[in-house]
Structure 1
Amino acid sequence: MRERRTRYPLAARVLGVSVTVLAALLVLGSLLLPNTLAELSATRFLRLPGEAVIGAALLLALPRRARIAAAVLSGTALGVLTLLNLLDMGFREYLGRGFNPILDWGLLDDAQAFVADAMGGTTAALAAVGAVVLALLLPLLTALATVRLARLLAAHRTRATRGALATGTVWITCSALGVQLFGAPLAADRAADMVKGQVELTRDTLRDEAAFAEEAKRDTFGATPGDQLLTGLRGKDVIFTFIESYGRSALEDPLIAPGVGRTLEAGNEALAEAGYRARSGWLTSSTFGGGSWLGHSTFMSGLWIDSQQRYRTVMAGDHLSLTKAFGRTGAWDTVGVMPGVQKAWPEAEFYGLDNVYNAFELGYRGPKFSWSTMPDQYTLEAFQRLEHGRERDRDLMAAVILTSSHQPWAPIPGMVGWDELGDGRIFGPMEKAGEDPADVIADTTRSREEYGKSVEYSLTSLTQWLERYGQDDTVLVFLGDHQPRSRVTGLRASRDVPVTIVAKDPQVLDRIDDWDWSEGLRPAQDAPVWRMDAFRDRFLTAYGSTPHPSGP
């Protein structure tokens, strides 16, 4: 290297300056990087990071070995912090919240599985390799960049010291006066705020884990005998149906709502002609954009489950789920229809389900539609064939998950004749002719349009199934598990989802008159809004359950 520098001094100087500039840009960019895509703009990097001033002063004050060690440690930490910022961006985009470094690592496996289902195994493998390379390379690069800048400061100690003092003075002055540039403070402390936020998040997470474990042990109906549960629904087949990503935006977004509204209006008219009435309201989901199991468990348990740690705590306990309450009575057979489950599902014990049908047990032989293993119309027909249409000695309680409205909303199945469904191979040409998931994911407008179409399909499938197969004793409760991702809803959307109860027997709806829910399948904009964890106790109370608390 020395020989080449001697032979090519100009090229060596240009190369050295270029590497130094790149190192400075990497460090400054890492210090100023926001943690949301909405804030990611060129103007956000035209700010003065206070951490750079403090870091330069510290490095100038240290002897050589300590300076290099401090540069390596601080550079590596900066790289890790940048990775956390990038994870925050992804989580906020898809789940409407930041990344939790204590709880959320397990969700990365789910993210890879989603990419594999939506974009193909090759894309998922390449994405995983890219993520691993980035995770290893970024801290190394920021460490090397910091070491290079530390050596530059030491080589020009006098000028660097004067520059640090002057820059520090400017930063303090701008901070005190609130000077702004392009709508943001010129004096930035973004990295320090990020570190503080992560420390507080970690502390709060650890505290919450212990507090929630105690909360989950207490249950208003935990000790209620079976003969005092759900007496107002005896003789009814009760079906709880979750519609994936069916959120408030589907009914209020100006691009999406017209189509979904027409679908609900048509379903309302058809069901009314068949003798059904409906009431609808709003529930605030514990999750956003994904993590459907958190919404399912919140609704069924009456506990606010907004993290994987809370979910694991509840699943390992004996808190009474709404579905298990039906089983405890001895009056209902309890069944789960889970087309999205493709591996062992120990949660069946918590939910108290006598029988669970996963993706491989519904007899489907047609194509997958991206993440969704089968169209909702087929899922409902399989439920009818396997359980709802069978002769039985007891009533039926079923939990049915509909997945066709799961992102990326491409390709979307269409309705076929109910008698033509067969084993699902009829959907083959439909899947091949559908939209490419990659094209939809990358386009905000198309994501919104296709999301709306997928919800229309799911609602049509469900209302037609009820119209075709429902009986005088059928009670259907259907709701969304969460809102779709922020690319569809925007950044300030609520977490509200519609919830509806449909029945022929007027006494079923008379029991919830005091809920003040809207008539029909569509909740009014000003209909009552409850937290999703409030539903279990309200439902149990309305339908004749007597509280017998359990726990400490």
Structure 2
Amino acid sequence: MLGAAVLSPGLVASGSPAALLRVPLEAAAALLVLAVLPWRPVRRVAAGVLALLFVLTILSAALDRGFTSTVGIRFNPITGWPELRDGFGVLRDSTGSTAAFGILIALVLASVAATIVIGLSLLRLDGVGRRHRRQAAFGAGAVVAAWAVVGLVGAQVVPGQPIAATDAIGTIVSRSDQAAGTAHSEAAFDGAQAKDPFSAVPSSDLLAGLTGKDVIVAFIESYGQVAVQNSSFSPGVDRVLKQGDAQLAADGYSERSAFLTSPTFGGISWLAHSTLQTGQWIDSQQRYDKVTSGSRFTLSDAFGKAGWRTLSDVPSDSKPWPVGKSFYHFGTELNSENVGYRGPRFSYAKIPDQYTWSYLQKTELSKPHTPLMAEVDFVSSHTPWTPLPHLVPWPAIGDGSVFDPQPAEGLAPKTVWQDPHHVQQLYGQSIEYSMSSLFSFVHTFDDPNLVLVVLGDHQPATEVSGEGANHDVPISIISKDPGVLDRISSWNWQPSMLPSPSAPVWRMDDFRDRFLTAYDRARVRRP
């Protein structure tokens, strides 16, 4: 039991039972600690502490594996607790409150039971060793010698995991280094928040290059580089983008595209939104909470200061969004409850993208209005990517009830997610739908004053992106006014909705400053 416990972090990390065929140094070290303690009560406490430590290293490995497979990063014990809370929220939404809390309680009970069993195992082995000191000393020496030999030669059963195992020690050291690095980076982040020259730019200079334009920042959920390059499903997306290029050109529009590196992966979309808006690298819920409780100058602030009316539309929300008012200062906030939608839900996506475009056109863009800046989430491409809507004639959209038959035409998530290949294909189809909706909107409601900033928030989860995928997402700027794109000619973005592998790649936190610089009246600040 003790050997399995100290090797379990490697088992969890690799997913291979062969990880148990290793020599754990920590087992011998734990027994040595107990052997030098003379009093039984002290040994019992020490055994309990050691057992708890071993269980915590197993849980740490499990959290790392879960976070890596979903959001592409290790769990951070300093900043990761809000994300863990959000993950539980997703579990609760998926399984129901009863099942979610049942799973949580089962996990707590299993951890307590494992701690007790490992502690008793340590005490039992210590008792055997005290009764048979010579044999115990010989056995311990053999284990240490074997560990040293295989450690020196670097032997491995599982690639990347030496037979000479130090999983628990490695986890403790790694977590200590992670905590120190986090403390340093958070201090640097706090210092950078105060340095923001754009907040002092006169309103007459801000965004003068976009005067009279309606600007929509369109976040396409899970629209990652994997959707457009080197995947089994990218040819379908590429075909839609190329057709979109042709349609845009025929209608007199031009576009420029590149890639941005997102601070998040697989989910937690609001980290990407806030990074783009603030020009700061917001890669944890802790940073998000810190920034949004302050007064950082955002893109929406810049547009509002320069005279635009600002709007957010988050179709996945059903309640007011406090940060939208207190931090982003959006003049209007839309969600699933105040846009008149009476149609069906498509799994996570409460409202299909085409309806979102239709509502914006009908209530905001088609009427005489002050120039509008809107940040809009398009959520039809959100996991689990089934069932999916399909396009309907724009005049037929109405209150959305025209979509009523469509969910039944798709498969349920629990059916699709039994086959990773099927999941990937449906992800590709969801991006095809979202981008087709966009192109159809631009073509149907031709608007010479419309400027679109279209980008992904993050790559889809590892199930779709694959192990080790980057965090890059496509971004495009679309306009009918050549002057709008002339302003960004120095960026060297590519004239297509489909950026090639050689397209520029920026960090997402670079975008705000470059964008404000490009469209500033004087353009004297360097990007």
TM range, smaller chain: over 0.9
The one of 145, 153, 158 equivalent to 2:126 is: 153
- Corresponding residue for residue 449 of structure 1: 425
CA 1:440–1:29 in 2, change beyond 3 Å: closer, same or farther?
farther
What secondary structure does 1:252 align onto? coil
1:112 aligns with 2:85: no
AA partner of residue 534 (structure 1) = D
Q: CA deviation at 1:248?
A: 0.4
1:103 aligns with 2:79: yes
What secondary structure does 1:413 align onto? coil
What secondary structure does 2:454 align onto? strand
- Corresponding residue for residue 278 of structure 1: 255
- Corresponding residue for residue 454 of structure 2: 478
Q: CA deviation at 1:548?
A: 10
CA 1:138–1:246 in 2, change beyond 3 Å: closer, same or farther?
same
1:50 aligns with 2:25: yes
Distance in 2 between the 1:217 and 1:248 partners?
33
What secondary structure does 1:414 align onto? coil
CA 1:181–1:520 in 2, change beyond 3 Å: closer, same or farther?
closer
The one of 284, 289, 293 equivalent to 1:307 is: 284
Which ranges in structure 1 are unaligned for 5 or more consecutive residues?
1-22
Q: CA deviation at 1:142?
A: 2.7
Distance in 2 between the 1:74 and 1:143 partners?
11
- Corresponding residue for residue 327 of structure 2: 350
- Corresponding residue for residue 483 of structure 2: 507
> Could you report, residue by residue, the CA deviation over 1:190-219 in whole angstroms, capped at 9, with x for unpaired residues?
111111111222222233333312211111
The one of 188, 196, 209 equivalent to 2:165 is: 188
Q: CA deviation at 1:245?
A: 0.6
Distance in 1 between the 2:337 and 2:524 partners?
39
> Could you report, residue by residue, the CA deviation over 1:9-38 in whole angstroms, capped at 9, with x for unpaired residues?
xxxxxxxxxxxxxx3464244354343xxx
> Could you report, residue by residue, the CA deviation over 1:259-303 in whole angstroms, capped at 9, with x for unpaired residues?
001111111112211111111111111111111101111111111
TM-score using structure 1 length? 0.90
- Corresponding residue for residue 59 of structure 1: 34
1:521 aligns with 2:521: no
AA partner of residue 396 (structure 2) = E
CA 1:517–1:470 in 2, change beyond 3 Å: closer, same or farther?
same
> Could you report, residue by residue, the CA deviation over 1:367-391 in whole angstroms, capped at 9, with x for unpaired residues?
2211111111111111112212222
Greater shift after overlay, 97-106 or 149-158?
A: 149-158
What secondary structure does 1:222 align onto? helix
What secondary structure does 1:429 align onto? coil
AA partner of residue 100 (structure 2) = A
What secondary structure does 1:269 align onto? helix
Which ranges in structure 2 are unaligned for 5 or more consecutive residues?
none
- Corresponding residue for residue 30 of structure 1: 8
CA 1:547–1:303 in 2, change beyond 3 Å: closer, same or farther?
farther
Q: CA deviation at 1:106?
A: 2.1
> Could you report, residue by residue, the CA deviation over 1:382-441 in whole angstroms, capped at 9, with x for unpaired residues?
11122122222x211111110011111111111111111122222222112311112333
The one of 238, 243, 258 equivalent to 2:235 is: 258
AA partner of residue 42 (structure 1) = P
What secondary structure does 1:498 align onto? strand
1:415 aligns with 2:391: yes
> Could you report, residue by residue, the CA deviation over 1:21-61 in whole angstroms, capped at 9, with x for unpaired residues?
xx3464244354343xxx21011111111111111222222
Q: Is the 8 A contact 1:72 1:144 kept in 2?
A: no
AA partner of residue 385 (structure 1) = K
Q: CA deviation at 1:102?
A: 2.2
The one of 94, 113, 120 equivalent to 1:140 is: 113
Distance in 2 between the 1:200 and 1:89 partners?
19
- Corresponding residue for residue 192 of structure 2: 215
Distance in 2 between the 1:310 and 1:414 partners?
37
Distance in 1 between the 2:523 and 2:246 partners?
38
Q: CA deviation at 1:143?
A: 3.0
The one of 219, 233, 248 equivalent to 1:242 is: 219
Q: Is the 8 A contact 1:48 1:186 kept in 2?
A: yes
Q: Is the 8 A contact 2:303 2:373 kept in 1?
A: yes
CA 1:545–1:343 in 2, change beyond 3 Å: closer, same or farther?
farther
CA 1:182–1:96 in 2, change beyond 3 Å: closer, same or farther?
closer
What secondary structure does 2:463 align onto? helix
Q: CA deviation at 1:467?
A: 1.3
1:467 aligns with 2:443: yes
What secondary structure does 2:26 align onto? helix
AA partner of residue 167 (structure 1) = V
Greater shift after overlay, 340-349 or 81-90?
A: 340-349
Q: CA deviation at 1:459?
A: 0.4
TM-score using structure 2 length? 0.94
The one of 353, 361, 383 equivalent to 1:376 is: 353
What secondary structure does 1:110 align onto? helix
CA 1:189–1:125 in 2, change beyond 3 Å: closer, same or farther?
same
CA 1:545–1:91 in 2, change beyond 3 Å: closer, same or farther?
farther
Q: CA deviation at 1:120?
A: 4.7
AA partner of residue 464 (structure 1) = S
Q: Is the 8 A contact 1:31 1:49 kept in 2?
A: no
Q: Is the 8 A contact 2:353 2:434 kept in 1?
A: yes
- Corresponding residue for residue 51 of structure 2: 75
What secondary structure does 2:199 align onto? coil
Q: Is the 8 A contact 1:27 1:142 kept in 2?
A: no
CA 1:395–1:445 in 2, change beyond 3 Å: closer, same or farther?
same
Q: Is the 8 A contact 2:494 2:503 kept in 1?
A: yes
Aligned length, in residue pairs = 519
Q: Is the 8 A contact 2:83 2:284 kept in 1?
A: no
AA partner of residue 34 (structure 2) = L
Root-mean-square deviation (Å): 1.9
1:431 aligns with 2:404: no
Distance in 2 between the 1:253 and 1:440 partners?
22
Distance in 2 between the 1:201 and 1:292 partners?
24
What secondary structure does 2:406 align onto? helix
> Could you report, residue by residue, the CA deviation over 1:467-489 in whole angstroms, capped at 9, with x for unpaired residues?
11231111111000110111111
> Could you report, residue by residue, the CA deviation over 1:143-170 in whole angstroms, capped at 9, with x for unpaired residues?
3223233223313432223211111111
- Corresponding residue for residue 310 of structure 2: 334
AA partner of residue 52 (structure 1) = A
- Corresponding residue for residue 100 of structure 2: 127
- Corresponding residue for residue 339 of structure 2: 362
- Corresponding residue for residue 298 of structure 1: 275
Distance in 2 between the 1:55 and 1:425 partners?
65
What secondary structure does 1:409 align onto? coil
Distance in 2 between the 1:172 and 1:120 partners?
47
- Corresponding residue for residue 208 of structure 2: 231
Q: Identity of counterpart residues, as a percentage?
A: 41
- Corresponding residue for residue 174 of structure 1: 150
Q: Is the 8 A contact 1:229 1:329 kept in 2?
A: yes
What secondary structure does 1:514 align onto? helix
CA 1:292–1:546 in 2, change beyond 3 Å: closer, same or farther?
farther
Q: CA deviation at 1:112?
A: 3.5
Distance in 2 between the 1:347 and 1:526 partners?
37
AA partner of residue 268 (structure 2) = G
